[in-house]
Structure formats: C-alpha cells, structure tokens
Structure 1
C-alpha cells in the first residue's frame, strides 16, 4: 500500500493507528515521545484531519519508521479482543439490590474509565 492510498483513506488510517496505539499499551503521550510527533499533530492524524499530503506523509513515515512496521501492516491491523473476567460473590443474599447511590457511583466510575480509554 502506498502513502497516496493512506492519505486518501486518512480517516481509516487514523482509526487503524488509534487501534494499534491502544492495543500495544501506548498512551498518546508515550506514543508522541516515541515517534517525536507533537500531541496536537497526533490528534489530527488520528482524526483524519490533516489536509496537507506532504505533512501527512512526513508524520506517518516517522510513525511507521519508529514502530518498524509498513503501511500494509498498519492497515491490516485488528485489535486483540480483550477477555473480561466476571467477578462475583456467592455470599450476597439472593434478593440483594444495589441501592441508588451505589449504582450512581458505579456508573460514574465506569464513565471515568471510558473517558480515560478514549483520551489515552
């Protein structure tokens, strides 16, 4: 795959790169340090917002070189499915109900975790 094609599909390229970053344990900050690309530039790449082909090519080349992958590897990447282990206790009473305050706190914590996964 050539850089011309990646530029034409820059939204998909950004999505694939975002999946690659997350699946390989990088935060956006650590990825920027590794690739020597600024955070705002990385965000533009991930969102497919770079309209200059030369700028896109320059930064994507830096990314691919620092990761030691080629464009085909990036575009063929699919994130690993994460298994989720359910944790439960059989000590709870059969008719146990979570109170409204606890449910609200749990939902808030889930929202914070989801926000962190999007941001990092």
Structure 2
C-alpha cells in the first residue's frame, strides 16, 4: 500500500498545457502527472527534505497555502545542484523528473488547486 496524490479544482483534475509533457511516477490509481495525479509515495521523501519537513504528501487534503513553498524549494534545490543528474531520496529521481514535479506544483499553485492524498 502506498500514497497516490491528486491535484483538483472544484472536484475535477487540473488541466493545463504545461502538464502535457511531464512524466512522473504513477501508481495503480494515479497518473503520471499530466492529469494532476502522481505516485506521492515516491516524491514525499524529497519534498520533505527540501522543505525542511514543512510539507508532507501524507495528508488527506491540503490547500494551496499548505504546499505553495514546494516549487520554490525545488527551484532552489536544482540551482544548488547544477551539475547533478541523479538524486537519491529513498527512490532514485533524475533531474528531468524533479523539473517535471516543479512544473506540476507551479501549475497547482497558479490554479489554487487542492492536493489530496489517498493511501
């Protein structure tokens, strides 16, 4: 059993042209990020690390103010590691995947989406 995460606005999955090309780890009940859903279990250790434990995906429902620091923290992390392509946070993540995660969270912030966790 694990965590799947979903961004929604008014009970509907988020949509935005910026999401068309992203590719995150999906779960049995979640997509690969293009529809605003992803395998939260894979990314929770990374998000917890870069936010100093301020943000966890293991929460049933979060408003934009609860996770809005994530894209900024990801940007800072990538700037601090400009030459690195692979990262280990319980799961191996590559630079493109982390950039895609940043895009997803930026879109969610822009749309003021709610973030739901299901496990």
TM-score (ref. length: structure 2): 0.28
- Name the one with the larger helix percent: 1
Compare CA radii of gyration and give the structure with the larger one.
1
- Name the one with the larger strand percent: 2
